[in-house]
């Protein structure tokens, strides 16, 4: 299995592309750091007892007054910045991944069915997609969030914030998947293997998911990486606007919003540590997406 | 051509109706209008009377028709939060957002088109490669971070430009403009550039791709053979033929500019519609949210109509078809 991966085309291209290698490494480190945050981070930023106001506003270790205990300094509450960004990235990645998965399942499901059945069902799905496309993703996400605030009783707001945010992002991203899946399905469904499967009397669902889906996965995988980056950016933007997550469970966007308060004073690290971390994460995911696009483009082989 | 324009007009009206319906559903089903307007001490009878007066017991479609009629007459209802007419609140904020969006779009075109032409004509140059790399990173950096970086560099470190608000404004009729004072322009530069960056990269990449496509075509080869001067060849023959797709995308992107102005306005505390919309979401001020949607959709539809008319002006084939 490993040997097969090592000799594959994709890995050969990866070894030839230093940008993709670096991007892969950065993405891997960030994701590993986020997943293992509880074991790596020295303090738990959600646990008020684990840090003290006495340690507040300490600069990074290489500046005067920095302490080795807090390599990237602390915020005004005395939170260790490294712990804060690891836990923040954990939340950002969790929401981004869940939103991406929901958008994929919803979009690919609808796109497959629309391409397979065609006709009126296809027309309805595509009209909805058109309307959705006319509204930029951020506006859709803001609207869904606003509606959720209106519909849910206010005491529930804190508990369901993550779910609402995830759903809002997912619903603003599904269209790309639906359109791509539909277009590819249109091409595949007239090929002989699909016709054969249909004539053999296989269930439509089986034809769609067992036969067509594996053959249209390439372009979908590219969209998944690009949309993961979009989802993370969208979450960061919404949290930055103060619409997303509350300050007691900070994602990267919330951390940047908090850091903005220190823009005019000297404590640059509170703002720039999470900002640079977010940029590194998104740039590396986008570079990987570009790389995947080249891998799946047969003209470049 | 008349048929074409009429068809587009009909489609636009359909889109506006759909958005009005969305806005109406928001208003009608998210929260109860009556409990928003009344206090705890209002009796059940009073509530019922108010419900009857507001026409909330009428058939659904009838209510929607009345809602649309009110919208057409410019009656946008009252804000739950400030109790002011929504029409006034929005009208106060429109100039700020439109000026910001227009200047951002102009910046993106003035920089994006020449950069696109240059990178297409010199595909292997060092400058081209650095421009392309910069735009790749630029696309990955969220708008609000670009805004923060600009504030930090030009506002805090260098102290050259103001970092919030509109600076000096001038009243012209009902239009509050910041385009006529030096202070206003100084306040406008950073937010407009922040908002324009994404559009700029998009325009550049599109012009570049189209330009490279056109330069490979037969008629350019033929024009080269005829010995037409380079300048004329590049701009009169090549660039002019890239303009139809470029204008389409710019038109479509205008909606994006207005939507992303929400973020930019929040970073720079720019008193436009986006900031108003954010406040209305925070306070679940449904009437303002709904009207914002309708107004944005209206701009969107208007720009797309204008784009269609521009096609006819730019692409002579569309005119010839009608004559034939």
* B240-287 confidence digits (pLDDT tens): 777 777 777 777 777 778 877 888 888 888 888 888 888 888 777 888
At B78 the three-state DSSP class reads: strand
Give the mean pLDDT per block of 10 residues along chain A (301 residues). 64 70 82 78 66 64 64 69 82 89 92 87 81 75 79 66 85 87 86 85 84 83 84 86 71 81 74 84 82 70 51
Set out the domains of chain B in order of their start, with CATH numbers.
1-73 (no CATH), 86-314 (1.10.3720.10)
N- to C-terminal Cα distance for chain B?
11
Chain A residues with CB-CB distance to B139 below 8 A: 286
Cα–Cα distance for residue pair B215/B238, rounded to 1 Å = 7
User: What was the pLDDT predicted at A110?
Assistant: 92
Cα–Cα distance for residue pair A235/A165, rounded to 1 Å = 7
Q: Is the CB of residue B255 less than 8 Å away from at least one CB of chain A?
A: yes
Determine the Cα angle at A145 with ends A129 and A138, to 5°: 50
Interface probe, candidates B33, B133, B145, B290, chain A, greatest A C-beta count within 10 A = B145
Query: CA nearest B215: which of B118, B108, B290, B89?
Result: B118
Q: If you measure CA to CA, which chain A residue comes closest to B139? A: A283
Q: Is the dihedral of CA A209, A214, A215, A217 positive or negative?
A: positive
Query: CA nearest B277: which of A167, A143, A48?
Result: A143
B69-78 LR contacts (CB < 8 Å, sep 24+): B71/B20, B71/B294, B76/B287, B76/B291, B77/B27, B77/B287, B77/B291, B78/B287
| Angstrom distances, CA of residue B20 to CA of A95, B25, B276 | 32, 9, 19
Given a cut of 90, is residue B318 above it in pLDDT? no
Q: What is the largest CA-CA distance in chain B?
A: 87
Residues A242, B282: C-beta atoms closer than 8 Å: yes
Hunting for tokens 């996400």 — which residue is that?
A: A141
Cα–Cα distance for residue pair B72/B259, rounded to 1 Å = 23
Chain B residues with CB-CB distance to A286 below 8 A: 136, 139-140
Weakest mean pLDDT among A21-25, A177-181, B25-29, B290-294: B25-29
Our CA-based measurement puts residue B138 at a distance from the nearest CA of chain A, in whole angstroms, of 9
CB burial string A167-185: b at 16+ within 10 A, e below: bbbbbbbbbbbbbbbbebb
Q: If you measure CA to CA, which chain A residue comes closest to B23? A: A143
Q: Is the CB of residue A246 less than 8 Å away from at least one CB of chain B?
A: no
Note the ipTM here.
Answer: 0.74
B23, B291 in Cβ contact below 8 A?
Answer: yes
Is residue A251 within a helix (H) or strand (E), and if so which, with residue range?
Answer: none
Q: Is the CB of residue A283 less than 8 Å away from at least one CB of chain B?
A: yes
* B64-87 confidence digits (pLDDT tens): 888 888 778 777 777 777 778 888
User: What was the pLDDT predicted at A134?
Assistant: 66
| Angstrom distances, CA of residue A73 to CA of A66, A83, A193, A259, B145 | 7, 10, 60, 13, 21
B223, B237 in Cβ contact below 8 A?
Answer: yes
Cα–Cα distance for residue pair A301/B181, rounded to 1 Å = 57
Q: Is the dihedral of CA B35, B38, B39, B40 positive or negative?
A: negative
Our CA-based measurement puts residue B301 at a distance from the nearest CA of chain A, in whole angstroms, of 10
Our CA-based measurement puts residue B226 at a distance from the nearest CA of chain A, in whole angstroms, of 34
Chain A to chain B Cβ contacts (< 8 Å):
90
Which residues on adjacent β-strands are paired with residue B170?
A: B177
Query: Please, which pLDDT band fits residue B324 given cuts at 50, 70 and 90?
Result: very low
Pick the most confident of A57-61, B152-156, B171-175, B248-252: B152-156
CB atoms within 10 A of CB B59: 9
Q: What percent of chain B has pLDDT over 70?
A: 91
Residues B18, A134: C-beta atoms closer than 8 Å: no
User: What was the pLDDT predicted at A3?
Assistant: 66
User: What was the pLDDT predicted at A228?
Assistant: 87
> Could you tell me the pTM of the whole model?
0.79
Cβ-proximal residues to A170 (8 Å cutoff; 6+ apart), any chain: A98, A99, A100, A102, A103, A106, A231
User: What was the pLDDT predicted at A105?
Assistant: 93
Q: What percent of chain B has pLDDT over 90?
A: 0
* B117-143 confidence digits (pLDDT tens): 888 888 788 888 888 878 877 777 888
B194, B143 in Cβ contact below 8 A?
Answer: yes
Cβ-proximal residues to B167 (8 Å cutoff; 6+ apart), any chain: B178, B181, B183, B184, B185, B186, B187, B188
- Among partner residues B136, B266, B286, which is closest to A241 by beta-carbon distance? B266
- Among partner residues A147, A241, A264, which is closest to B156 by beta-carbon distance? A264
User: What was the pLDDT predicted at A10?
Assistant: 66
Cα–Cα distance for residue pair B138/B111, rounded to 1 Å = 15
Please give the DSSP secondary-structure letter assigned to residue B73. T
Query: CA nearest B33: which of B68, B57, B16?
Result: B57
Given a cut of 70, is residue B116 above it in pLDDT? yes
At A17 the three-state DSSP class reads: coil
A263, A276 in Cβ contact below 8 A?
Answer: no
Q: Is the CB of residue B17 less than 8 Å away from at least one CB of chain A?
A: no
CB atoms within 10 A of CB A124: 12
At B269 the three-state DSSP class reads: coil
């Amino acid at each position: 299995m490993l040997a097969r991966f090592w000799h594959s085309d994709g890995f050969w291209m990866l070894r030839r592309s230093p940008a993709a290698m670096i991007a892969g490494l950065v993405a891997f480190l960030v994701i590993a750091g986020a997943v293992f945050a509880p074991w790596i981070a020295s303090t738990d930023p959600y646990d008020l007892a684990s840090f003290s106001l006495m340690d507040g506003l300490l600069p990074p270790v290489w500046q005067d007054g920095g302490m080795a205990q807090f390599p990237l300094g602390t915020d005004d509450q005395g939170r260790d910045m490294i712990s804060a960004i690891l836990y923040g990235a954990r939340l950002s990645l969790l929401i981004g991944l869940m939103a991406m998965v929901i958008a994929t399942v919803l979009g690919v499901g609808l796109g497959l069915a629309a391409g397979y059945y065609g006709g009126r069902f296809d027309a309805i799905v595509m009209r909805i997609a058109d309307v959705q496309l006319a509204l930029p993703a951020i506006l859709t996400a803001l609207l869904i969030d606003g509606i959720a605030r209106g519909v849910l009783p206010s005491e529930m707001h804190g508990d369901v914030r993550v779910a609402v945010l995830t759903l809002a992002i997912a619903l603003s991203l599904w269209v790309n998947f639906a359109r791509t899946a539909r277009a590819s399905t249109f091409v595949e469904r007239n090929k002989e293997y699909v016709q054969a499967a249909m004539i053999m009397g296989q269930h439509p669902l089986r034809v769609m998911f067992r036969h067509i889906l594996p053959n249209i996965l390439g372009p979908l995988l590219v969209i998944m990486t690009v949309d993961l980056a979009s989802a993370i950016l969208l979450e960061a933007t919404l949290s930055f606007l103060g619409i997303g997550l509350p300050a007691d469970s900070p994602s990267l966007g919330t951390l940047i919003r908090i850091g903005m308060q220190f823009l005019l004073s000297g404590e640059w690290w509170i703002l720039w540590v999470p900002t640079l971390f977010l940029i590194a994460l998104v740039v590396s995911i986008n570079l990987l997406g570009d790389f995947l696009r080249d891998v799946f483009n047969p003209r470049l082989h | 051509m008349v048929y074409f324009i009429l068809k587009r007009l009909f489609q636009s009206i359909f889109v506006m109706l759909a958005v009005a319906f969305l806005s109406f559903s928001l208003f009608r089903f998210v929260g109860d209008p009556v409990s928003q307007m009344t206090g705890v001490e209002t009796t059940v009878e009073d509530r019922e009377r108010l419900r009857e007066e507001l026409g909330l017991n009428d058939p659904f479609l009838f209510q929607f028709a009345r809602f649309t009629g009110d919208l057409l007459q410019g009656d946008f209802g009252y804000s739950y939060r400030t109790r002011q007419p929504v029409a006034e609140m929005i009208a106060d904020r429109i100039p700020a957002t439109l000026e910001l969006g227009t200047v951002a779009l102009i910046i993106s075109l003035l920089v994006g088109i020449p950069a696109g032409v240059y990178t297409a004509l010199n595909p292997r140059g060092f400058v081209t490669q650095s421009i392309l790399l910069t735009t790749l990173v630029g696309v990955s950096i969220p708008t609000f971070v670009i805004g923060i970086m600009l504030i930090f560099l030009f506002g805090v470190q260098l102290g050259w430009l103001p970092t919030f608000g509109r600076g000096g404004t001038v009243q012209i009729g009902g239009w509050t403009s910041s385009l006529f004072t030096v202070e206003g322009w100084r306040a406008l530069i950073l937010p407009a550039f922040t908002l324009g960056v994404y559009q700029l990269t998009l325009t550049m990449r599109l012009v570049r791709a189209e330009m490279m496509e056109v330069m490979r075509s037969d008629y350019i080869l033929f024009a080269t053979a005829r010995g037409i001067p380079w300048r004329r060849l590049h701009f009169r023959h090549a660039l002019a033929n890239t303009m139809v797709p470029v204008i389409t995308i710019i038109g479509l992107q205008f909606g994006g500019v207005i939507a992303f102005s929400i973020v930019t306005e929040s970073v720079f505390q720019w008193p436009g519609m986006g900031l108003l919309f954010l406040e209305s979401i925070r306070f679940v001020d449904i009437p303002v949210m709904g009207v914002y949607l309708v107004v944005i959709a209206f701009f969107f539809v208007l720009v797309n109509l204008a784009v269609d008319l521009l096609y006819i002006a730019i692409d002579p084939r569309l005119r010839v078809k009608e004559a034939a």
